[in-house]
Amino acid sequence: MTDTTTSNRLREEALRLRPSAALAPVRSAAPFLACILLAVVLQVWVRPLMGDFYAKLLLDIGTNVILAVSLTMVNGFTGQFSIGHAAFMAVGAYTSAAIVYYGSFRLWGDPLMHGGTLSAMMHGRSDPLLMSGDLLFLGSLVAGGLLAAVCGYVVGLPSLRLKGDYLAIVTLGFGEIVRVLIQSQTTDTLYDPEQIAQTPIYELPRYLGGALGFSGLPFYSSLFWAWLAAAVTLVVAFRLKYSTYGRAFLSIREDEIAAEAMGIHTTRYKVRAFVIAAFFAGVAGGIFAHTVGVQLNAQELGFQKSFDILIMVVLGGLGSISGAAIAAVILTILPELLRQPPCIWGWAMAFIVPAAVLWIALSRRRVRTAVLIALALGAWEAMRWLARETGANLADYRMVLYALALIIMMIVRPQGLLGIREVWELRRPRPLAARGDRGAGGEPGTAGGRVSL
Amino acid sequence: MIEKCLQTLIDALSVGSLYALIALGYTMVYGILKFINFAHSDVFVLGAWMSFTVAVGVGWGGAASGSPVADWVWILLGALGAAGVLMTLWERLGRGATPEAIRARVPATAVGPVLLLVAAWGAGCTALVLLAGVLRRTPSLEFLGGGVILVMAMATCGVVGFCIERLAYKPLRNAPRLNVLITAIGVSLLLQNLGQLNWMFGTRPQPMPPLVPAVPLFEIGGSTDAAGHSTAGVKIWLVDVIGAGTAVALMIALDWLVFRTKLGRAMRAVSYNPANASLMGIPVDRVISFTFVLGAMLAAAAGFLYSQKYSGLNQPAAATWVLLGLKAFVAAVVGGIGKIRGAMLGGLLIGLLEFFGAAYISPELRDLYVFSLLILVLLFRPSGLLGSTAAEKV
Amino acid sequence: MTPHAATTNGSGAGAAPLLLDVDGISISFGGLKAVSSFSLKLPKGRLAGLIGPNGAGKTTVFNLLTGVYKSDTGTIRLGDRVLTGLKPYQRAAAGLARTFQNIRLFPDLSVLDNVRIACHLRARETMAGAIFRSRYHTGEERAMTTLSMELLEIFDLAHRCDEQAKNLPYGDQRRLEIARALATSPKVLLLDEPAAGMNPQEKRELRDLIRSIRDRFGLTILLIEHDMGLVMDICERITVLDHGVIIAEGTPGEVQQNPRVIEAYLGSTEGGSPVPAASANGEEA
């Protein structure tokens, strides 16, 4: 079996086993159409049902899902240690903000919203679905992502050749550099249409608000855009993981030397993962910049934000897409919960305890998990009581709790919530492609369902 | 022209020696455990804030009246000591009773060092309170009190470093590198955010009471012309001299310790091969703990000296501290991570680069110079100036 | 120490064309010369062995051949491609595959995935294809799965294809490593102590397996082993290494009688060969 015959054989088999020409485009595009559908449903039907507070929370969740899933592509899939992810977010945010703000001036002479329903978080449904402002916003998101990807390439190429610790420092340093560079710019933002029309385009990026932040941005971000981006990120991450590329990434994480011996150009794949992750972080940044109530300031996009994202990824499980997403949801909601910690005794008594008893009855092995959950609930109640007695505000302790959770998690359960597996793989790990992609002569699947996205 | 150069040089050397002190902690831990202790710069911050707390609490430097050190500081140390005692008891008593798996995870603690440091702390406080009365009449000798504060800050951070190692890093001795790095980040976040709480150091910047009189030791090149106008020369402040002097003294002491004593030989042996070292009868755990304590103490000293030079202390989680820690880490890498003399050299180099760059190119981009140097070094000579490359055995 | 006089061109004849041509490679670690002036000529289809006492530098030679270490001197050629200076993944692409002394599987991934990763080398997929699930991509994924399963069938691991590699029994892990190396469709296969830790029955099966894959896939195999029975049994030619230097080279019979080999293993030149002839129980020397 020489290399040419295998390559030929692979190609022949590939041509023989591929799906029909009619079916293939459907299979390819279907998930993306589903993303659009989901986003539309959220914006047009779900949004009017909820108040502004919950809508913003849902939007934040969407943004954090993008950030967590993109970081897991680097830290989880390839096992590298990048802790400056918020830098790419900042690059994307400022790029997108500059394009929308100054573009708005150039096109319409004012920095107001010119978007349609899909961009309207606060307004009603009187506008048409998609308007030119929406397209400007979409373009700015893509541009922000692309510029962030370029930065990812520039930073990743030299540093990904080195051992894990160095990459961590370089990414942290890069994050700080971006922040410092942005904050050292002039604090002026131009707001006179005449002036803006006359300033040449390459001069405009100097006026980003510097240390005072970039204010006056139109609030284009809506549930539609945030969750469209989040869903697309999830689809791309999933498709990458369950493909030969994903396997190559994971092999680098598992054993880099063995991966190289099997012919994988480890540095190239590490850089690719880094660049894709940076792209999505840039998009998330763009969405963040145009969210209601956000004053874009590089100060907030420093290492604290990077660590926030890192904690989501680590607690969810390095390498698990669903883990990162779930952790993003939980850790976005948690600060709100900590502000007003809800009482869970009622819920516990009514639902959780009977369910737990039933669960334990079904399997002796689960006792330990059940005990842990009971301890966690008890700890929550104790914390609530303590906070009430001492008059302390739990929200102040948020980062302390996160840090403790991180340390304890690393000692007790280093693989995080889900480890490398996805939520639907909790029984047994699946091979990383659908059972249905078994050509001729495959065995019927053992565990796991048939998923072929 | 020359004055500016000289002034920059003095500043650079003064701050560079502080970088060197912090870099020593990074490099020692890396040499022994082969990982980067992200929490190290937070120990530096803790040292600065601790010295502030003690100084203000005792009423030093002309601040508020000489009230004894705040109660909570005693409580904190008592808690740490109690934790140490509990751990030891658990391990001793639980030997037969607890399952192997749990025991393997509970770190063994030696009560001795903790109690010793607590005692040193207590002695220091007492000494300060006594000294306060005596020395207040001779303000120019107040910096002797500063010496006591320095020792107390070092002791406190030594205890903290010890606890961090025992509680957070020891259980992960055999874990994959990534896990230890994440834990280090967790510890760093913990220290930062604990420090920010209202009942600890708070979130507002505080001014550090100056313990060293703001008096120039030398003045070079100043002159007074006939009309009585004087042009300022280059001032070498007492603060700088004491700061750099203390730093250099500590570095010399460390160098002597590591290269000329039995303990230092044990440290070096553990850094080459822990398994073999333990076979030779070296108490590896204790050596590792000692290394952490040593590094933490140096960082605390650097923190105190830094607070004397730049007296506005920012909140513990401020970006300025993070940047300082990063620059010290760059110093360790540039000099050759794992090499003690490399860290000293690296610290001075980084100081020179930063200050000359700030003076002659642009002060806003001072951090950029340092990180550019990092990238260059990592690209072309990752093992650093004094480091050596070693092939990994496959 | 000079190499044994019986190094003509090491191939025993100029009959078959040289596939692997190693000429004078060496490496030093610090002051220690781990391998000095190692040369080896393997014609196509040869099953050769590399033996020597512990610490002789055998795995170091493998690391030099595969590019993990950079050789200080000499050249390595595979067919008409020059491998000197190439990185490990480039040498794998050229057709040089290996297994590891201390089994380096991808522990958390399934058995099937371990093999499929090795197929990546010969695949033509693009990242865009993966993200948009192009026709070719899906077809190639299926093809990779088919080919991998075929390979696993040969190694009798197909029934375990979904298990995590770290959960396999030791013997299966070793076989999986060989299967994975084969999935890169190599021309030359380097096996580092494939029989370590196996019982005699497993060793017999391994012996048959190695022979059969050599014939079936047209491979050239170089084998490091401590089990003399296995080596003498299947290797056509053997190179003996001691302290990084070749001390003997030839057929199994020649090597067994060589006094320098006996001395290296036993430390004396007394009569009697400590290196047993091919024996059924396959005990280590």
User: Shortest CB distance from A407 goes to which of B168, B329, B382?
Assistant: B168
Token duo for residue C122? 């010969």
Does A173 contact B187 at a Cβ distance shorter than 8 Å?
no
Q: To the nearest 10°, report the CA torsion of B184, B188, B189, B192.
A: 170
Contacts of C69 in chain B (CB under 8 A): 391, 394
User: Shortest CB distance from C113 goes to which of A247, A266, A419?
Assistant: A247
Whole-number Å distance between alpha carbons of C175 and B103? 37
- Tell whether C26 is within 8 A of chain B (Cβ): no
Best residue of C98, C121, C146 to probe chain A, by most A CBs closer than 10 Å: C146
Structure confidence at residue B103 (pLDDT): 43
| Closest-CA residue of chain A to C213 | A1
C245, pLDDT greater than 50:
yes
A132, pLDDT greater than 50:
yes
The 10s digit of each residue's pLDDT in A35-48 is 999 988 888 888 87
What's the whole-number average pLDDT of chain C? 85
Contacts of A412 in chain B (CB under 8 A): 105
Contacts of C116 in chain A (CB under 8 A): 244, 247, 431-433
- Tell whether C69 is within 8 A of chain B (Cβ): yes
Residue boundaries of the structural domains of chain A = 29-319, 339-426
Q: Which residue, among C278, C179, C267, has the nearest Cα to C231 in the 3D structure?
A: C278
Token duo for residue A435? 């059972």
- Tell whether A211 is within 8 A of chain B (Cβ): no
A164, pLDDT greater than 80:
no
The contacts of residue A416 (CB under 8 Å, 6+ apart) are A314, A315, A316, A317, A318, A320, A323, A327, A409
Q: What is the interface size between A and B, counted as CB pairs within 8 Å?
A: 114
Residue boundaries of the structural domains of chain B = 20-218+234-317
Chain C residues 168-207 with a CB less than 8 Å from chain A:
180-187
Does B394 contact C29 at a Cβ distance shorter than 8 Å?
no
- Tell whether A187 is within 8 A of chain B (Cβ): no
Q: Is A113 helix (H, G, I), strand (E, B) or coil?
A: coil
Does B179 contact A414 at a Cβ distance shorter than 8 Å?
yes
- Shortest distance, CA B220 to any CA of chain A (angstroms): 34
- Quote the distance between the C-alpha of residue C277 and its chain's center: 22
Token duo for residue B262? 């039995």
Interface pTM, i.e. ipTM: 0.84
Contact B379, A158 (CB under 8 A): yes
Of A95-99, B314-318, C32-36, the least confident: B314-318
Strand partners, B313: B206
Contacts of B333 in chain A (CB under 8 A): 166, 169
Contacts of C135 in chain A (CB under 8 A): 18-19, 21, 24
Q: What is the mean pLDDT of residues A241-247?
A: 92
Contacts of C99 in chain B (CB under 8 A): none
- Tell whether C100 is within 8 A of chain B (Cβ): yes
List chains touching C (3+ CB pairs under 8 A): A, B
Contacts of A407 in chain B (CB under 8 A): 168, 183, 186-187, 190
| Vertex A184: Cα angle to A183 and A189 (nearest 5) | 70
Q: What is the mean pLDDT of residues A232-256?
A: 93
Chain C residues 129-188 with a CB less than 8 Å from chain B:
none
Does A304 contact B317 at a Cβ distance shorter than 8 Å?
yes
C226, pLDDT greater than 70:
yes
C269, pLDDT greater than 60:
no
The 10s digit of each residue's pLDDT in C66-81 is 999 999 899 999 988 8
Q: What is the mean pLDDT of residues A380-400?
A: 77
Contact B247, B309 (CB under 8 A): no
Whole-number Å distance between alpha carbons of B149 and B155? 10
The 10s digit of each residue's pLDDT in A298-310 is 888 888 899 889 9
Does C89 contact A266 at a Cβ distance shorter than 8 Å?
yes
Does A180 contact B330 at a Cβ distance shorter than 8 Å?
no
Whole-number Å distance between alpha carbons of C187 and C220? 6
Structure confidence at residue A4 (pLDDT): 56
Q: At what angle do helices A164-183 and A85-108 cross, to 10 degrees?
A: 30
Token duo for residue B364? 């806003």
**Which homologous superfamily is C1-95+186-285 in?**
P-loop containing nucleotide triphosphate hydrolases (3.40.50.300)
Does C184 contact A260 at a Cβ distance shorter than 8 Å?
no
Contacts of A11 in chain C (CB under 8 A): 124, 140, 143
User: Shortest CB distance from B177 goes to which of A164, A174, A184?
Assistant: A164
The 10s digit of each residue's pLDDT in A342-369 is 776 666 666 777 776 776 666 666 666 6
Structure confidence at residue C180 (pLDDT): 94
Q: Which residue, among A227, A190, A263, A176, has the nearest Cα to A65 in the 3D structure?
A: A227
Contacts of A400 in chain B (CB under 8 A): 190, 193-194, 197
Range from A104-118, A208-222, C142-156 that averages highest in pLDDT? C142-156
Whole-number Å distance between alpha carbons of C38 and C57? 10
Amino acid sitting at position C254: E
Residue boundaries of the structural domains of chain C = 1-95+186-285, 107-184
Q: What is the mean pLDDT of residues C45-50?
A: 92
Question: For chain C, what percent of residues have pLDDT higher than 70?
Answer: 88
* Backbone dihedral angles phi then psi of residue B361, each to the nearest 5 degrees: -110, -70
| Closest-CA residue of chain C to A239 | C131
A453, pLDDT greater than 50:
no
| Closest-CA residue of chain A to B202 | A396
Token duo for residue A263? 């012919």
Long-range contacts of B340-343 (CB under 8 A, 24+ apart): B340/B24, B340/B27, B340/B28, B340/B31, B340/B254, B340/B255, B340/B258, B341/B255, B341/B386, B342/B27, B342/B384, B342/B385, B342/B386, B342/B387, B343/B20, B343/B23, B343/B24, B343/B26, B343/B27
Residues of chain B predicted below pLDDT 70: 57-144, 198-200, 211-234, 389-394
Best residue of A244, A279, A425 to probe chain C, by most C CBs closer than 10 Å: A244
Long-range contacts of A383-388 (CB under 8 A, 24+ apart): A383/A341, A384/A341, A384/A343, A387/A341
What's the burial of A38, exposed, middle or buried (CB within 10 Å: 0-12/13-18/19+)?
Answer: middle
Best residue of C96, C185, C191, C192 to probe chain A, by most A CBs closer than 10 Å: C185
| Closest-CA residue of chain B to A414 | B179
Q: What is the interface size between B and C, counted as CB pairs within 8 Å?
A: 7
Q: If you count them, how many residues does chain C have?
A: 285
Tell me the CB-side half-sphere exposure of residue A42, using CA atoms within 13 A. 24
C231, pLDDT greater than 50:
yes
Q: What is the interface size between A and C, counted as CB pairs within 8 Å?
A: 221
Whole-number Å distance between alpha carbons of A273 and A246? 10
Does C121 contact A264 at a Cβ distance shorter than 8 Å?
yes
Contacts of C100 in chain B (CB under 8 A): 394
Q: Confidence class of residue A443 from pLDDT cuts 50, 70 and 90? A: very low
Contact C261, C252 (CB under 8 A): no
Contacts of B182 in chain A (CB under 8 A): 310, 314, 406, 410
User: Shortest CB distance from B391 goes to which of C29, C59, C100?
Assistant: C29
